[in-house]
Amino acid sequence: MPFIRTFSKVAKQALLSPGCGCQPITVAVRTISFSPRQVTSDASFHSVSFSETDHPKVLITGGLGQLGVGLATMLRKRFGNNNVILSDIRKPPSHVFHSGPFIYSDILDYKNLREIVVNNRITWLVHYSALLSAVGEANVALARDVNITGLHNVLDIAAEHGLRLFVPSTIGAFGPTSPRNPTPDLCVQRPRTIYGVSKVHAELMGEYYHHRYGLDFRCLRYPGIISADSQPGGGTTDYAVAIFHDAVKTGKFECNLKPDTRLPMMYIDDCLRATVEMMEAPADTLSMRTYNINAMSFSPEELAQEVQKQLPDLEVTYDIDQVRQAIADSWPMNFDDSNARNDWGWKHDYDLPELVQTMLNYIGSDSRIAKAN
């Protein structure tokens, strides 16, 4: 049965745009219909080289967040600079703007997003636009618009144009009734944050579109992601990034989670590589469309002890944020990612000692450069 998105040609929708101070924007939409397409199994990019004609044309939404710039850099090295377009509603810093194609794209503006896909002959869409857990709880209405309405626009456009679509999910897609140690791919979820609810919605809608319309939907449940070149962005696991910046700059760190709060974590290089490997995996190797991935699991106390091996004078105190603590207490303590490892060969490179050393080397060198200037 063909997928049909139907509106009057003159119908208009008033949507909230997070990039415009939440002012209404007007979006004209038209009737769209297409026949379902079968998911191809011949896109076997994994561990092979590409000719120019084989290169996917990639669009990354929400590209100025924690992961977008790094993923764009990785994909541009693999597919060519002009084959990866970064997009966001914010003005990019100079080094990002000059590093490769960048365009303005508001995922709530369906017509604009569709034009970008058509005009640039996009074949892969990586959908990173989202409000994270703690920020989402502070503005549920905006999180609902961005995380759910925006997703619907992306799904419809991807299905209409036969795109390969990647939408990340999260440890936040689970809830207090989920098995926590370990958490398997398939189990009770029932999250209690708008962020988690929207991610479960994304997983299920993506799988529905795959089975109903043949959409090549792919999804990874990310653990907490730790990176040195981005600041904490409103997530519950942000303490695991902030500790490194504070340790280098001030020698003191105040953690907003209890010292024994164990959560799954991953260094950003592993996360980005997993994303690329998942996107390149032949369709016939995928036994499911949403996978857990994991690298390590630790508590704030264990992370602090590992950092103190390198910086023994670091002082750590705790001032518990009850909202973030409640969120963390409902999340997995450890991810079971055996299906990803068995199906498409996922394997992480960074454990806790390597993570700490890499972060301190990176942030420490940046701090020394800043002081010298």
What's the pLDDT band for 7 if we cut at 50, 70, 90?
very low
pTM, entire model: 0.83
3-state secondary structure of 34: strand
3-state secondary structure of 161: coil
The CA distance from 43 to 40, in Å, is: 7
Looking at mean pLDDT, say which of 31-45, 52-66, 255-269 comes out highest. Answer: 255-269
Instruction: Out of 195, 209, 213, 350, pick the active-site residue.
Output: 195
The CA distance from 123 to 158, in Å, is: 9
Strands (E), 216-349: 216-222, 224-226, 252-255, 263-267, 290-292, 296-298, 315-318
User: What tokens were used for 351?
Assistant: 């454990």
Specify the pLDDT at position 132: 84
In the CATH hierarchy, which fold is given to the domain comprising 129-370? Rossmann fold (3.40.50)
pLDDT of 353 > 60? The answer is: yes
Looking at mean pLDDT, say which of 33-37, 107-111, 367-371 comes out highest. Answer: 107-111
**Are β-strands 58-61 and 224-226 bridged in parallel, bridged antiparallel, or unpaired?**
unpaired
Domain map (residue ranges) of the chain: 129-370
Task: Report, in angstroms and rounded to the nearest whole number, the Rg of the chain calculated over CA atoms.
Answer: 21
How many angstroms separate the Cα of 371 from the Cα of each of 94, 170, 239, 292, 366? Answer: 22, 37, 24, 41, 9
pLDDT of 294 > 50? The answer is: yes
110 catalytic residue (yes or no): no
Model confidence pLDDT, tens digit, residues 324-336: 999 899 999 999 9
Specify the pLDDT at position 302: 98
pLDDT of 32 > 90? The answer is: no
Specify the pLDDT at position 102: 98
Model confidence pLDDT, tens digit, residues 129-168: 999 888 899 999 999 999 999 999 999 999 999 999 999 9
What's the pLDDT band for 51 if we cut at 50, 70, 90?
very low
What's the pLDDT band for 234 if we cut at 50, 70, 90?
low
pLDDT of 18 > 60? The answer is: no
How many angstroms separate the Cα of 24 from the Cα of each of 17, 19, 89, 112? Answer: 7, 11, 15, 15
Give the residue-averaged pLDDT of 27-32: 39
